[in-house]
């Protein structure tokens, strides 16, 4: 710890210049700059400049490892030892219609795996898990550490906001990245995600790393680089980590928007729901079961026979929510229709996500309110044949003043052609430390 009044061992301007000229920052320099920023010695403008230099010039694996370690060291570390069951975590890099956490956590809980899911809120075109769940009357995201452990012990899974003491340096740095155009960079994404996940103290971690128009990293090559980086960071820290590369070029499922996605997740938990949501839920569940040592357990029956839905009800109730309460329903709805005949070539996930955001389902700045009823129902998928006038989307919101901008985003979200497109696999690859 830096003594009060002692001279600082480094000058942040020198570090910015080093990285600006594609130099490598030493381990002690990285540890200092993260700690000094957290202490308020390094100004936000200086850290922003350093972050931009990292975005432009990149970081080597050792630098990324040091940055992750410095973020972890800025706060507390949790431990789930003593639960009597393996604790396996999951993280998604975010996508349009990605409600997988909602059915996945109770599914694993029903099968005997503890899932400490510390989630976040949405920003821009990607939805946040906490925003979705807060559409359920009474449900609470903010739990004390003691409450989190209690829910985890009693239910087997918990979905809540991360406490302020977990990697606080990352929280402060992300706030800068969000307003300075420095989010989409592999070193910064990897260190941000893994600092929190390693600090959580789970026994294993499964990553859902997305690519495509609706992802932060559109190219599959970028997603693979990110996945490999995070898996290596996990291995370096002793956290067993596996990543799946999943396609986010089209929205996941049909429902986009908070309450809309909760309804769809409940349908999956009741043995129904869209095939792609079920497929990805089961794919991630199998990876998590494998990390838990439950190699021969098939998760599919627990969705069909009601066990996962029962665990969902217990989870929602344990966090103050009413699983039987009606979810918000939008006052205004309107259909977007096809202008001519054709076969759906693609449904642009980003355009749909931006449309839902403009309708009120998302936020432009942290702290903005969201309209839990707002969103988009996707009525077609690639390969579907449509005729002129057929509905492509149903848009939903409470504020009629938002309709025009939402509709504007969706007007060109569907591409039509004359030949059916080649089907694309939802899971495009797997990265492990083996």
Closest CA to 255 of 101, 96, 424: 96
Model pLDDT, residue 123: 62
Fold of the domain built from segment(s) 332-417: Aldehyde Oxidoreductase; domain 3 (3.90.1170)
Model pLDDT, residue 204: 97
Model pLDDT, residue 365: 72
Q: The tokens 């202490």 sit on which residue?
A: 39
Q: The tokens 């000094």 sit on which residue?
A: 36
Q: Where are the beta strands (DSSP E) in 167-227?
A: 204-211
CA distances from 333 to 112, 359, 363, 374 (A): 41, 11, 20, 9
Residue 181 pLDDT > 90:
no
User: pTM score, two decimals?
Assistant: 0.94
Packing angle of the helix pair 168-180, 27-39 (nearest 10 deg): 90
Taking the C-alpha atoms of residue 156 and residue 83, their distance in angstroms, rounded to an integer, is 9
Q: For residue 5, what are the contacts with CB-CB under 8 A and spacing of at least 6?
A: none
Closest CA to 11 of 38, 50, 64, 68: 50
Give the pLDDT band of residue 253 (cuts 50, 70, 90).
Answer: very high
Residue 275 pLDDT > 70:
yes
Q: Which helix (H) or strand (E) holds 116?
A: strand 115-119
Taking the C-alpha atoms of residue 120 and residue 348, their distance in angstroms, rounded to an integer, is 24
Active site residue 192: yes
Taking the C-alpha atoms of residue 207 and residue 288, their distance in angstroms, rounded to an integer, is 10
Q: For residue 279, what are the contacts with CB-CB under 8 A and spacing of at least 6?
A: 426, 427
Residue 100 pLDDT > 90:
yes
HEC sequence for 347-371? ECHHHHHHHHHHHHHCCCCCCCCCC
The mean per-residue pLDDT over the stretch 375-382 comes to 97
For residue 401, the 8-state DSSP code is G
Q: 66, 98, 170, 290: which is the annotated catalytic residue?
A: 170
The mean per-residue pLDDT over the stretch 17-26 comes to 98
Closest CA to 107 of 294, 296, 310, 244: 310
Q: For residue 11, what are the contacts with CB-CB under 8 A and spacing of at least 6?
A: none
**Would you state the structure tokens that stand for residue 28, as one six-digit string?**
């002690």
Give the pLDDT band of residue 125 (cuts 50, 70, 90).
Answer: low
Residue 5 pLDDT > 80:
no
**Would you state the structure tokens that stand for residue 187, as one six-digit string?**
């070193």
The mean per-residue pLDDT over the stretch 260-286 comes to 98
Taking the C-alpha atoms of residue 331 and residue 131, their distance in angstroms, rounded to an integer, is 19
Model pLDDT, residue 90: 97
Active site residue 91: yes
Give the pLDDT band of residue 172 (cuts 50, 70, 90).
Answer: very high
Residue 21 pLDDT > 90:
yes
Q: 196, 210, 240, 358: which is the annotated catalytic residue?
A: 196
Average pLDDT, the chain: 94
362/286: higher pLDDT: 286
Taking the C-alpha atoms of residue 318 and residue 22, their distance in angstroms, rounded to an integer, is 50
Q: 92, 135, 192, 213: which is the annotated catalytic residue?
A: 192
pLDDT in tens, 32-72: 999 999 999 999 999 999 999 999 999 999 999 999 999 99
CA distances from 421 to 214, 230, 344, 391 (A): 19, 33, 8, 20
Active site residue 177: yes
Model pLDDT, residue 333: 94
**Would you state the structure tokens that stand for residue 105, as one six-digit string?**
């956590």
Question: Do 252 and 95 contact (CB within 8 A), yes or no?
Answer: yes
CB atoms near residue 70 (< 10 Å): 23
Active site residue 324: no
Give the pLDDT band of residue 2 (cuts 50, 70, 90).
Answer: low
Instruction: Determine which of 4-8, 37-41, 231-235, 315-319 has the lowest per-residue pLDDT on average.
Output: 4-8
User: Counting beta carbons within 10 angstroms of the beta carbon of residue 429, is it exposed (0 to 12), middle (13 to 18) or buried (19 or more)?
Assistant: middle
What percentage of the chain has pLDDT greater than the value 70? 97
pLDDT in tens, 233-252: 999 999 999 999 999 999 99
Q: Where are the domains of the chain?
A: 12-58, 88-163+195-325, 332-417
Residue 117 pLDDT > 60:
yes
Q: For residue 147, what are the contacts with CB-CB under 8 A and spacing of at least 6?
A: none
Angle 31-33-35 from CA coordinates, rounded to 5°:
70
Residue 224 pLDDT > 60:
yes
Instruction: Determine which of 109-123, 341-355, 374-388 has the lowest per-residue pLDDT on average.
Output: 109-123
The mean per-residue pLDDT over the stretch 132-156 comes to 96
Q: 19, 91, 314, 372: which is the annotated catalytic residue?
A: 91
Buried b (16+ CB within 10 A) or exposed e, 351-367: bbbbbbbbbbbbbeeee
Residue 429, SS3 per DSSP: strand
Q: 171, 177, 350, 372: which is the annotated catalytic residue?
A: 177
Q: Domain spanning 88-163+195-325 has what CATH number?
A: 3.40.1030.10
Give the pLDDT band of residue 184 (cuts 50, 70, 90).
Answer: confident
Model pLDDT, residue 178: 78
What percentage of the chain has pLDDT greater than the value 90? 87
Active site residue 19: no
Model pLDDT, residue 434: 65
CA terminus-to-terminus distance, the chain: 37
Residue 121 pLDDT > 80:
no
């Amino acid at each position: 710890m830096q003594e009060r009044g002692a001279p600082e061992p480094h000058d942040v301007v020198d570090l910015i210049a080093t990285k600006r000229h594609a130099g490598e920052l030493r381990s002690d320099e990285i540890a200092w700059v993260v700690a000094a920023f957290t202490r308020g010695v390094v100004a936000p403008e200086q850290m922003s400049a350093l972050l931009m230099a990292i975005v432009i010039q990149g970081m080597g694996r050792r630098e990324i490892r040091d940055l992750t370690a410095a973020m972890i060291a800025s706060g507390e570390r949790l431990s789930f030892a003593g639960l009597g069951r393996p604790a396996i975590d999951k993280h998604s890099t975010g996508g349009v219609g990605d409600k997988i956490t909602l059915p996945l956590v109770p599914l694993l809980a029903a099968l005997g795996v503890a899932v400490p899911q510390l989630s976040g809120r949405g920003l821009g075109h990607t939805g946040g898990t906490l925003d979705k769940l807060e559409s359920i009357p009474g449900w609470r995201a903010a739990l004390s550490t003691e409450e989190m452990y209690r829910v985890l012990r009693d239910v087997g899974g918990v979905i809540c906001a991360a406490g302020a003491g977990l990697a606080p340096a990352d929280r402060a740095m992300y706030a800068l990245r969000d307003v300075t155009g420095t989010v989409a960079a592999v070193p910064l994404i990897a260190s941000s995600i893994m600092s929190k996940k390693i600090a959580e103290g789970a026994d294993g971690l499964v990553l859902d790393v997305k690519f495509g128009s609706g992802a932060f990293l559109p190219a599959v090559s970028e997603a693979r680089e990110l996945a490999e980086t995070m898996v290596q960071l996990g291995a370096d820290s002793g956290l067993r980590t596996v990543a799946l590369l999943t396609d986010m070029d089209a929205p996941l499922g049909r429902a986009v928007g908070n309450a809309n996605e909760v309804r769809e997740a409940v349908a999956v938990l009741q043995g129904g729901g869209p095939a792609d949501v079920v497929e990805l839920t089961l794919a991630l569940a199998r990876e998590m079961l494998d990390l838990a040592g439950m190699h021969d357990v098939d998760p599919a029956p627990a969705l069909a026979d009601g066990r996962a839905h029962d665990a969902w009800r217990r989870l929602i109730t344990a966090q103050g929510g009413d699983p039987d309460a009606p979810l918000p329903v939008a006052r205004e709805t309107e259909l977007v229709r096809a202008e001519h005949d054709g076969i759906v070539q693609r449904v642009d996930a980003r355009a749909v996500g931006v449309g839902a955001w403009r309708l009120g389902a998302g936020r432009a700045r942290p702290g903005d309110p969201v309209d839990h009823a707002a969103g988009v129902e996707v009525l077609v998928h690639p390969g579907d044949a449509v005729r002129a006038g057929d509905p492509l989307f149903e848009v939903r919101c409470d504020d009629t003043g938002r309709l025009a901008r939402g509709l504007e985003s969706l007007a060109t979200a569907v591409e039509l052609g004359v030949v059916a497109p080649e089907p694309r696999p939802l899971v495009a690859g797997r990265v492990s430390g083996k």
